[in-house]
Structure 1
């Protein structure tokens, strides 16, 4: 029997809103690579690479793509389980909303895709015809 839909929706809704502030052990990180078995290699703002585990409530509910951002809770070196250095406690889904927060690190540049650009996209359009150039 599958998980109730209310649990799935609650996990998805929780990841859309950023927290008011971060604790000492929490940090934003960029996902470098999915290692398998709910493990991800992530890059911290100080360019350190860590191996983190996805929280159980997000497993089979939310997928994280390479280059996405997550909120990780790093464990003390004494409490680490093998190579796993922490846990993904939240997934950044609405990047615009998260970037407005004071704790967003300057080390993570704005993505190349920006909604505020005024240029028209040519995706899905036909190329200009040659007959227009003959005038």
Structure 2
């Protein structure tokens, strides 16, 4: 099987299937990469250990800090205690939450602002704010962190010097 065909099948399997963890499997959150296809993971109970990336995912799919995965335990491992079986994306997480299979330790609590405002009040305000701020809001734009950020500001001194020269 060629590399392109293999990649196609692996990606189709990950994006198409909705997998539920078995009794031996568990859902963990990736907290960092240690290199050599090893990733540091934390369970919902707070246990930290290393997980390995299987060969079928290498160079086909990538995971980053904050992603969730389903892992199979490795009995003989001291440091590396599990192997990644399935990578969970937003749709998979939403499906697991609907089935009530999502670990309690990973449930994100709504922020304090969301708790204090009533949904009826926010519907009217959100529509008005989105209409007025949609043109001015640039918070969702991609920011390249590899470039220096320069703050440009126009000052009155520069304007007055230009007028004097003319």
Q: TM-score, normalised by structure 1?
A: 0.72
The superposition leaves residues 95-116 of structure 1 with CA deviations (integer Å, 9 ceiling, x where unpaired) of: 323433332212112498xxxx
Shift of 1:27: 0.3
Tell me which protein shows more strand as a share of its residues: 1
The runs of 5 or more residues in structure 2 that have no matched partner are: 111-121, 138-166
- More moved, 9-18 vs 66-75: 9-18
The superposition leaves residues 8-40 of structure 1 with CA deviations (integer Å, 9 ceiling, x where unpaired) of: 122112223222x42232100000001111100
Alpha-carbon spacing, 1:12–1:100, altered in 2? closer, same or farther (3 Å): farther
Larger RCO, structures 1/2 (Cα 8 Å, 6+ apart): 1
Alignment partner of 1:15: what SS? helix
* Rg comparison, structure with higher value: 2
- More moved, 93-102 vs 83-92: 93-102
The runs of 5 or more residues in structure 1 that have no matched partner are: 128-135
Whether contact under 8 Å (1:25, 1:75) holds in the other structure is no
Q: TM-score, normalised by structure 2?
A: 0.60
Tell me which protein shows more helix as a share of its residues: 2
- More moved, 8-17 vs 39-48: 8-17
